[in-house]
Amino acid sequence: PPSPRKRRGAAWPPGLAATTSTVLPGCEPIRLLGEGTFGTVVLVRERSTGQLFAAKAMSKLQLIEAQQLASIVTERQVLREAGPHPFVVQCHSGFQTPDAVVLVLEYVSGGDMYDLLKMHGCLTEEQMRFYLAEIVIAVAELHRHDFVFRDLKLENILIDEHGHVRLTDFGLAGKFVSGEPGEQAIFDISGTAIYQAPEMLADKGHGRVVDWWALGVLAYVLLAGRPPFAANESREQLHHRILNEELDLDNDDKLVSTSDACKDFIRRLLDKDPATRLGSARSDAVDVKKHPFFDGIDWGGVENLDLPPPLSPAKAPPLLNGAPTNPQEVKEARERLADKMCKPSLGGLRRKKSSKKALDAGEYKPVQVLGSSSERVSIGLDFGGTNKLQSGKTWTGTADDYGREIVR
C-alpha cells in the first residue's frame, strides 16, 4: 500500500473515543498523522506511561477486496524479524479487531525524507553520504533476514527527532531464498514506478539487488531534486526509459559539481544488468559499502548513532492536549478514521466473488464477535510459532505483544 502523506495538525474526532478504547485500550488518541489506500495512521498516547505511538489501522474489508491480505502479514513479519534495529521503525504491538488490523508503531516525529528535501532543498554529497550510509545498513538488515524491501523511496524513509533515518512501510516487501549471487526468486511486480528496477519490469524474476537499484534512484533524487527517468510521462513510456535509456551522468546539468566517485556510485547502482550491479556480489551490502563514494565513513560510528546528522528534521506540531486546531481537519479525520476502523459487519464477505478464493484457501476464518452470531473475518497472523515473544507466547492476533487481551 502507498505510504500515507502526513496531514499534521488534525485532532482526533472525540466521537470515536469509544472505538479507540476498544481497539487501543489504555491509549488516548491525539491526532491523525496520515493515511494511505488501506491504512490510517493515528498518533496516540499511552495513559500509564505518557509514551507516544503511531497506530496504523487497516480496514479488513478494503484489504480483502483489493486482495492485499498478504501485505499486512508480510509487513508484520518484517517488523518482527528485522527489528528492533536503529534504522528500522519499531513495532511495539500488533493485533486485529473484528473490522481492522492494527499495528502500534514507534512514533517518528521528524517527518520523512520528502519533507527533509522540501525543507532544505537538494542535498550536498556529504549530506547525502550520511543518510545513504544509514539506509545501506538498514537495507542490509532486511536482506540478512531474506527480505527484499521493494519500496525504498523518499516517503518510506522517516526521520526521527535527532535526524536519523527509520525505514517504514513494508507491505510490498518480498521473501527470497538465499542462494547463489543473483538468484531470482520473486516474480510479482511491486513498488513505486520511478524506483522499479529493469528486471522487475521485464518480469524475469528479481531478488535483493532491486533494492540497490532503488538506492541509486534515491541518490540521484537527493542530489538533483528529480528522478533520473522522467516521471511526467505515461507509465509505458517510463518503463521504456528504465529498460532502455542509458544515463549520461557526466553531462547531466544537475550533477555538474558532483564528484567522479559519486557519479560512478550512482552509475553502478543503476546498472540495468542485475548480475553486475553494485551489491550483486554474495557480500551484498559489503560490496556497496566498499565503493569509493563511502571512503572515510566510520561504519561502526554510523550504526552506533555516533555521527551527528547534517540537517535538522521537520518539527512536529505541538500536541495541544489533543484539542482541535481546524474544524475542517477534524471533520476530515472523522470521515477517514471511521472508514478504516468503524466498518460495518463483514459477514457478507462470503457472497463477494473477490473474497471467495481467499476464503476457500483458508486464509481467514469466521470468529464470534461480542456474543453475536454474525461472522467476521479473522486474518491468519500466527507465524507458525517461529517467532515467539520473550514471554514464550506466539502472537496470534488475539492479544497484543504485551500479553493484554484485546476486546473482540
Q: Distance between CA 27 and CA 190 in Å, rounded?
A: 34
pLDDT band at 213 (very low <50, low <70, confident <90, very high): very high
Inter-CA distances, 189 with 140, 206, 280, Å: 21, 9, 20
Q: Distance between CA 134 and CA 128 in Å, rounded?
A: 10
Question: Are 220 and 137 contacting, i.e. CB atoms less than 8 angstroms apart?
Answer: no
What pLDDT score was predicted for residue 221?
Answer: 94
Point out which residues pair with 405 in neighbouring strands: 399
Domains of the chain: 5-109+317-346 (3.30.200.20), 113-303 (1.10.510.10)
What pLDDT score was predicted for residue 34?
Answer: 80
Q: Distance between CA 406 and CA 408 in Å, rounded?
A: 6
Q: Which of 99, 112, 115, 151 is catalytic?
A: 151
Q: Distance between CA 172 and CA 123 in Å, rounded?
A: 28
Q: Distance between CA 296 and CA 119 in Å, rounded?
A: 28
Query: What does the buried/exposed string (b/e) look like for 97-125 if buried means 16 or more CB atoms within 10 Å of the residue's CB?
Result: bbbbbbbbbbbbbbbbbbbbbeeeeebeb
What pLDDT score was predicted for residue 61?
Answer: 82
Point out which residues pair with 44 in neighbouring strands: 29, 53
Question: Are 122 and 224 contacting, i.e. CB atoms less than 8 angstroms apart?
Answer: yes
**Whole-structure pTM value:** 0.77
Please give the average per-residue pLDDT across 209-236, as a whole number. 89
Q: Distance between CA 4 and CA 136 in Å, rounded?
A: 23
Question: Are 227 and 221 contacting, i.e. CB atoms less than 8 angstroms apart?
Answer: yes
Pairing mode, strands 165-167 and 91-96: unpaired
How many helices (H) and strands (E) in the chain? 13, 12
Q: Which of 281, 36, 65, 294 is nearest to 169 (CA)?
A: 36
Tell me which residue has cell 497506530: 55
Sign of CA dihedral 158, 160, 162, 165: negative
Q: Extract the C-alpha cell encoding 305.
A: 548513532
pLDDT for residue 222 is more than 80: yes
What pLDDT score was predicted for residue 340?
Answer: 60
pLDDT for residue 358 is more than 50: no
Q: Distance between CA 285 and CA 177 in Å, rounded?
A: 17
Consult the annotation and say whether 56 binds a ligand.
yes
Please give the average per-residue pLDDT across 357-370, as a whole number. 32
Question: Are 79 and 40 contacting, i.e. CB atoms less than 8 angstroms apart?
Answer: no
Rg (CA), the chain: 22
| Burial zone of 298 (CB within 10 Å; 0-12 exposed, 13-18 middle, 19+ buried) | exposed
Question: Are 307 and 66 contacting, i.e. CB atoms less than 8 angstroms apart?
Answer: no
Q: Extract the C-alpha cell encoding 234.
A: 505515461
Question: Are 397 and 103 contacting, i.e. CB atoms less than 8 angstroms apart?
Answer: no
Beta strands of 47-139 (E only): which ranges? Answer: 52-59, 91-96, 100-106
pLDDT for residue 48 is more than 70: yes
Mean pLDDT is lowest, of 116-130, 224-238, 349-363, for 349-363
State the average pLDDT for the chain: 74
Tens-place pLDDT, residues 79-98: 989 888 999 999 888 777 77
Q: Extract the C-alpha cell encoding 278.
A: 553494485
What pLDDT score was predicted for residue 22?
Answer: 53
pLDDT band at 14 (very low <50, low <70, confident <90, very high): very low
pLDDT for residue 12 is more than 90: no
Task: Specify whether 188 is catalytic.
Answer: no
pLDDT band at 24 (very low <50, low <70, confident <90, very high): low
pLDDT band at 342 (very low <50, low <70, confident <90, very high): low
**pLDDT exceeding 90 applies to what percent of the chain?**
37
